[in-house]
Amino acid sequence: MIGTLVNVATVSLGAVIGLSINKALPDRFVKIVFSALGLFTCYMGISMSLQSNEPLIMVLALIFGGITGELLQLDQRVHLLIDGLKKRFNGSGKFTEGLITAFLLFCVGAMTIIGCFDEGIRGNREIILTKAFMDFFSSTALAAAFGKGVIFSIIPLFIYQAGLTIAASKLEHVITSEFTNEIRGIGGIMLIGLGIQLLDLRQFKLINFLPAFVFAGFILYLKPLLNDIMSFIPLT
C-alpha cells in the first residue's frame, strides 16, 4: 500500500499549505476556487460516466444503492460522526462539508479505483502516485476554501484505498474490465453530483449512493443468468 501512504502524505501536506492561506484568502477568491473545482469535477464526472458500457446496469446500481443508503441512513450517520470530530477539534462551520467533499473528490474517481486495483493486482503504482500528485493541489485548494476538515479526510481516504488495494490482491480473478468500466461510470455520476454541489446549484446525499458500487458488481454477476431467463420469455 505504498501508493496509498504516499497519497495520504500529499493530501496532508497540501491541506496544511491550504490552511496556512485560509484566513488570508478573501471571500471572492474562495468563490472562484469553489467554481473552478466544481466545473472541473463536473468535467471529470462526465468523462468517467461515458466509459460505462452498460447504462442500464449503472442506473439500476445507483437506484438500488441509493435506496439502500437511505434505508441505512448512511449520509446521516456519517454527518453525525464527522460532527463529533468537528466538536472535538473545534472545527469551523465548513468542517463537515470540507471533509465529505474532500473524501468524495479523492476517493470516487477512476484513478483511485484503477490505481488501487493496479497496485493490489500487479504492484504497479504509476496511476496511484500520479493521483497522489494531483491530490496535493486539490487538497490545497479545498483546505483554503473549507478549512481544517479537509485534512481529516486522510482517515477515510486511507481506509478506503487500503481496503480497495487489499481486496484487489485477494479478488484479482473476479475483477474484470467490464466491472471496472461500470465502477468508473458510477463514480463519474457521483462526481457530477459533487460538482453541482460545489457550484452551489443543488445538494445531494451522495454518501447514500456508495452502496451502488457493490450493486454494480452484483448485477454484473447475475447478468448471464438474467440473459438466460430472458431467452426463454417469448417476445410475442
What pLDDT is attached to residue 110? 64
pLDDT (tens, 9 = 90+) of the chain, 236 residues, equals 788 999 999 999 999 998 888 777 677 777 787 788 788 888 888 888 888 888 888 899 999 999 999 999 888 887 787 777 667 766 566 788 888 888 888 887 667 877 888 788 778 888 788 888 888 888 888 888 888 888 888 988 899 899 888 888 887 676 777 877 888 888 888 888 888 888 888 888 888 888 888 898 888 888 776 665 545 555 44
**Cα 192-198-199 angle, rounded to 5 deg:** 90
What pLDDT is attached to residue 235? 47
**DSSP E strands: which ranges in 80-222?**
none
The upper half-sphere exposure of residue 87, i.e. CA atoms within 13 Å in the direction of its Cβ, equals 5
Between the alpha carbon of residue 140 and those of residues 100, 102, 200, the distances in Å are 15, 11, 20
Q: Nearest-CA neighbor of 100 among 116, 78, 84?
A: 78
**89, three cell numbers:** 477539534
What pLDDT is attached to residue 5? 92
Every domain of the chain and the residues it spans: 2-54+74-209
What pLDDT is attached to residue 126? 82
- Measured distance CA(196)–CA(114) in Å, rounded: 24
Residues contacting 66, CB < 8 A, separation 6+: 208, 209, 211, 212
